[in-house]
């Protein structure tokens, strides 16, 4: 565990945890890739991460569910998505404490929003948030806001589960309920360049404040840090 002034803290700072969230087709993947390149160009050690990470054993189960190859209980799948984050927790913490900035394409906010959007009795938003409580919390959430209608026009949805306009509308309603003080909403209907420059400003602010070494907060827990 990193402690202020502890022998393990060679540097005083840490990397920033920058998270992109939004409905499908809002531009998260494009913007997260561009941001990593931009930060690297500025000399920031930046890495691109994404969830679900489909390359672990749990991730392969999720991938098979999303592609429609397998069916699964909604609660069980929700817990798999969460487990797919928990299995990356140590590596995330190690990278952040080593000074690496993580640009992450989806995380627990997607987890809660997508399952809650299914409206399964018992699986309300609070239930959906519970398994992710205590994960490393992002320093800044960049919410790319776009109406599901506009997102659908962007080359259309793919064939994965959830990629339907009605579902995406409900997902965006759930996202709105999850907004907290780490959120920065960017209008994703603007040009790629306009979105990019706002994203860069938010990211640079977060990278600068994290270089001063603030403790990492834990997701959806009051005042806990790591």
- What are the angstrom distances between the C-alpha of 9 and each of 2, 193, 205? 7, 37, 22
Q: Which is nearer to ligand NYM, 17 or 81 (CB)?
A: 81
Q: Which is nearer to ligand NYM, 38 or 107 (CB)?
A: 107
The half-sphere exposure of 206 on its side-chain side, counting CA atoms within 13 A, is: 28
What is the pattern of x (binds ligand NYM, CB under 6 A) and - over residues 21-50? Answer: ---x--------------------------
Distance CA 110, CA 135 (A): 14
Nearest distance from C-beta of residue 104 to ligand NYM, angstroms: 10
Nearest distance from C-beta of residue 191 to ligand NYM, angstroms: 22
Nearest distance from C-beta of residue 51 to ligand NYM, angstroms: 4
Q: Which of residues 135-174 bind ligand NYM (CB under 6 A)?
A: 160, 162
Tokens coding 37: 């390149």
Q: Which of residues 98-137 bind ligand NYM (CB under 6 A)?
A: 106, 110-111, 114
Binding residues for ligand NYM, rule CB under 6 A, total: 11
Q: Is the bond leading into 52 cis (omega within 30 degrees of zero)?
A: yes
Distance CA 17, CA 11 (A): 17
The Cβ of residue 2 has, within 10 Å, a number of other Cβ atoms equal to: 15
Distance CA 23, CA 154 (A): 12
Interface residue list for ligand NYM (CB under 6 A): 24, 51-52, 66, 81, 106, 110-111, 114, 160, 162
């Amino acid at each position: 565990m990193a402690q202020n002034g502890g022998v393990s803290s060679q540097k005083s700072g840490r990397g920033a945890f920058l998270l992109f969230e939004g409905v499908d087709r809002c531009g998260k993947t494009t913007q997260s890739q561009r941001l990593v390149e931009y930060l690297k160009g500025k000399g920031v050690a930046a890495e691109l991460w994404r969830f679900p990470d489909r390359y672990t054993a749990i991730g392969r189960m999720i991938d098979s569910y999303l592609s429609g190859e397998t069916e699964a209980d909604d609660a069980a799948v929700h817990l798999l998505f969460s487990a797919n984050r928990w299995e990356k927790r140590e590596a995330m913490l190690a990278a952040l404490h080593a000074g690496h900035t993580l640009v992450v394409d989806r995380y627990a906010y997607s987890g809660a929003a997508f399952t809650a959007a299914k409206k399964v009795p018992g699986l309300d938003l609070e239930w959906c948030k519970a398994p992710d409580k205590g994960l490393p919390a992002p320093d800044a959430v960049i919410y790319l806001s776009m109406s599901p209608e506009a997102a659908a026009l962007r080359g259309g949805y793919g064939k994965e589960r959830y990629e339907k306009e009605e579902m995406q509308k409900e997902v965006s309603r759930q996202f709105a309920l999850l907004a907290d003080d780490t959120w920065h909403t960017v209008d994703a209907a603007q040009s790629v360049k306009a979105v990019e420059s706002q994203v860069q400003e938010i990211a640079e602010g977060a990278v600068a404040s994290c270089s001063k070494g603030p403790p990492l907060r834990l997701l959806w827990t009051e005042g806990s840090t790591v």
